[in-house]
A and B are shown apart, each in its own frame.
Chain A
Amino acid sequence: MVFSGKFIKNTLTALIAVFPLLSFANPDQDTLNIKAGSTAYTKEHAVQDEHAPQDKNDKINAYIDHHLQDSHDFVFFSDESTGEHYGFPLPVIVFDDGLHVFSSARFHHGEEVAEVDGNYYAMHHGKIYKTDANGTMKFDEHGHAENEKPLDFSITKNVITMLFVCVLMFLMFVGLAKSYKKGPLPTGFGRVLEPLIIFIRDEVAVPNIGEKKYRKYMGFLLTVFFFIWILNLLGMTPLGVNVTGNISVTVCLALFTYFITQFSANKDYWKHIFWMPDVPVPMKIILMPIEILGTLTKPFALLIRLFANITAGHVVIMSLIAMMFVGKNLVADMPISLGLTLFISVIELLVAFLQAFIFTMLSSLFIGMAVQDHHHEEDHDAHTEEEPIII
């Protein structure tokens, strides 16, 4: 890839423009207000909310936990002194003796019980539970809620983000596709996208899957690469979304790779799993379960890798930002905190690309392993057939 001076300048400008905004993902802008507000909050809400954070560290942990999770409403920031949340509610879709669709505003950010069609629902740690009119929750000894959970198909914050990414990708790439009708070279933003597409084709798909068969999987690989990358980058913005750091999302992505691998696998692949050639029969029997397990561990590694990397990045960045609220001396802590956050953010930008690349790379590697022709096998067979003739 060729980086021209203008491209680097533009990228740097964009980065510098984005970084200060990251701090808005913090609980509050004004640290003094937080101190005043937090004490007020604990006093006022202590009775109503038994899970209210008791001290600042707990509060930060709770905040980070909350950020990492999906949520039913899109909150940009909250004013704790007044208890107001700035954002918009999202539709909740619940299957519970029929379909119930209602706005998440009725939960009042998890503070109230929503009554829908005679059923009562309560929000607890980002999950919807069935409850009664008083919002009674039963907990086991580990603190897990034991109430019945209805099937929740809500359009959550992550779903909205994914839809946004879909629209963005559709506009970007359909625009690129159209720009080819005007001439052989793309124009505008397409000039940035085209090298990436060629990169995925030449460095990821072709070397791993092979010149003949790669074309069929380009759609999946390109979509997944840009989908993960854009979502990773969106996770770096002050919107405070964490889509690729959500286990459900990575499970889904890895399952796609898994099913595509299994369904495109050829005879050789299955033969190597169930009856490994060129080894003694006892070894074949021992290898069979290992190989079957291997097909599952590959996508499992994929989903854990993406999830863990992105989650870790978010936790580290948020902890570094939170550092200045924990420390006693704001003047001394703030430059350290911001400097470290900036440093980690740059690394995270790299990780955002790297994880998307690794996911695509490994997906194409697994697909390539399933569809490749085992040349060495054929050569070997041909060799043994030839030998008697030589003798």
Chain B
Amino acid sequence: MDKLVNDFSLGLFFWQAVILVVLILLLVKFAWRPIMTSITAREAGIAAALAAAEAARKEMQNLQADNQRILQEARAERDAMLKEAREIKEKMVADARAEAQVQGEKMIEQAKATIDSEKKAAMAELKNQVTTLSVEIAEKILKTQLSDAAAQASLVDKMLDDVKLN
């Protein structure tokens, strides 16, 4: 300790203080301030550039997502349209089929009705003819009866057989 105190030199201390104060002031003015300002500005610039790049990337992503969404929508729309068209087609086909069926049934019905009426008419005519025939037979029988009784009976039998055959 004694040696330390002895070694202490006021002159050197004084010069050191002066030099250090001057050096700090000079360097602050001419070096540290511009250097720190430049470094800070550069770092801020880098940070801003990075942020901008990140923002651009996000925007790009958004854009891509948008595109994807639009594409998706278009696809969905197309699908919907196709589906609709298919449905319309099926409906038309079904409708047409149903109508055709109805029409056919109607025609069949009509045909049946016609056939029925025809049949009735034919029956009526047949009945008329049978009646006419019967009347004619009866007339003939009556005419024949008047001449020969035996022949009359055989004639009736013969006629009846004919009727049966008919």
Contact = CB atoms under 8 A, between A and B. Distances in A.
Given A162-B16, A162-B19, A174-B31, A248 B8 contact: yes
A153 B36 CA distance: 36
A351 interface: no
24 contacts: A69-B7, A152-B9, A153-B10, A153-B15, A155-B15, A156-B12, A159-B12, A166-B22, A170-B27, A170-B30, A174-B31, A177-B35, A201-B39, A215-B36, A218-B32, A222-B27, A222-B32, A223-B24, A223-B32, A248-B7, A248-B12, A252-B13, A253-B16, A256-B20
B138 interface: no
A177 B31 contact: yes
A251 interface: yes
Interface string A207-237: 0000000010011101110010000000000
Contacts of A159: 12, 15-16, 19
A247 B8 contact: yes
A177 B34 contact: yes
A174 B12 CA distance: 26
Contact of B7 (A153, A215, A247): A247
Nearest to B46: A184
Interface residues of B, number: 32
Contacts of B17: 252, 255-256
Interface size class of A (residues with CB under 8 A): 35 or more
Contacts of A177: 30-31, 34-35, 38
Interface in A164-184: 166, 169-170, 173-174, 176-177, 180, 184
A152 B9 CA distance: 8
Interface string A128-152: 0000000000000000100000011
B46 to A, nearest CB: 9
A152 B35 contact: no
A223 B20 contact: yes
Interface string B26-63: 11101111111011001001000000000000000000
B16 A170 contact: no
A223 B7 contact: no
A69 B4 CA distance: 11
B45 A249 contact: no
Nearest to A223: B24
B42 A184 contact: yes
Q: Specify the main secondary structure of chain B where it touches its partner.
A: helix
A223 B27 contact: yes
Nearest to A157: B12
Nearest to B28: A219
Interface in A63-98: 69-70, 93
Contacts of A360: none
Contact of A198 (B6, B13, B23, B39): B39
Nearest to A144: B6
A248 B38 contact: no
A156 B19 CA distance: 13
A26 interface: no
A158 interface: yes
B121 to A, nearest CB: 111
A246 B7 contact: yes
Nearest to B2: A142
Contacts of B10: 151-153, 248
B36 A218 contact: yes
A115 interface: no
Contacts of A252: 13, 16-17, 20
A166 B23 contact: yes
A293 to B, nearest CB: 17
